[in-house]
Structure 1
Amino acid sequence: MPALAFDPAPGDKKALEEGSAFTPRFDANGLVTAVVTDAGDGKLLMVAHMNAEALALTLESGVAHYWSRSRNALWKKGETSGNLQEVVEMLTDCDQDAVWLRVKVMGHDATCHTGRRSCFYRTVGLVDGRATLAGDGSEPLFDADKTYRNPS
């Protein structure tokens, strides 16, 4: 567990919104939302969540860590694929319940577990009154099946 601990959010709204103390406001599940973009071109890469440990590890190491809600586990982004996210800058919103990470992706420059650069690779539309999805033309940059296959 990292040594870094976060102080509770101040009760004073002005101190929260204008002060110099980073006091993240974790939700009822102990998470803050993390929006992740490419530091070079600003492309939206992913949206994830961080608990206090992931947030502390990210600040201390400079490499993005997240909390996987589906696996109920901490994860260092890119540890398996080699597509680590080096944090160039971290910002927080006015009430400190979300963070924005501007990152440089190592390896194949792919963030999504499908092998694509971004997790946002489908457009949402309406066809004959039904919501539909269509690919945006992006192709996988690596073979996700080979990368994430669990040897038996």
Structure 2
Amino acid sequence: MTSAPSAAARLIAEIRFDGNGLVPCIAQQHDTGEVLMMAWMNAESVAETLSTGRVCYWSRSRQALWRKGETSGQQQRLVDLRLDCDGDTLLALVDQDGVACHTGRRNCFFRAIRDGAVTTIADPLVDPKALYGA
């Protein structure tokens, strides 16, 4: 007798991963709506995120799972994981501990066009050296 696929397996089957087996995931602070970052997920990172409740991404540079906050302590706890209408983008509603960006800023979207120039609109809240021991 075979068991029915888990909810996680059913969700993963609905995702339209790209040719590299990846899907973009937007992380958003669940209570404020602040967009924190975008990262990539594969089927394994989606499954781990759903099973542990801690957000796990796929690092393209390291070619390995990237458990958000594993090094820095700035982890993301999953509140809800949503799939867009086309099945090719995920939205992770999270509870972010501290900063989300590796630059020490609250989010990764700290540059904007102001007066015709690209301008930094948010300063680091934490020194990246303190986060990563560099």
TM above 0.5, yes or no, is yes
Runs of 4+ residues deviating >4 angstroms: none
Q: Point out the more displaced range, 49-58 or 140-149.
A: 140-149
Gaps of 5+ in 2: 1-5
Aligned-residue offset at 1:67: 0.6
Structure 2: distance between partners of 1:126 and 1:71: 37
Q: Is the 8 A contact 2:73 2:131 kept in 1?
A: no
Q: Name which of 40, 53, 57 aligns with 1:62.
A: 53
Aligned length: 128
Gaps of 5+ in 1: 8-19
**Residues 1:148 and 2:126 aligned together:** no
Deviations 1:53-88 (A, max 9, x none): 111000101110001112222110011111110011
**Alignment RMSD, CA only?**
2.1
Identity %: 43
**Residues 1:121 and 2:110 aligned together:** yes
Q: Is the 8 A contact 1:6 1:24 kept in 2?
A: no
TM-score, normalised via structure 1 length: 0.76
Partner of 1:105: 96
Task: Give the SS at the match of 1:60.
Answer: helix
TM-score, normalised via structure 2 length: 0.85
Task: Give the SS at the match of 1:57.
Answer: helix
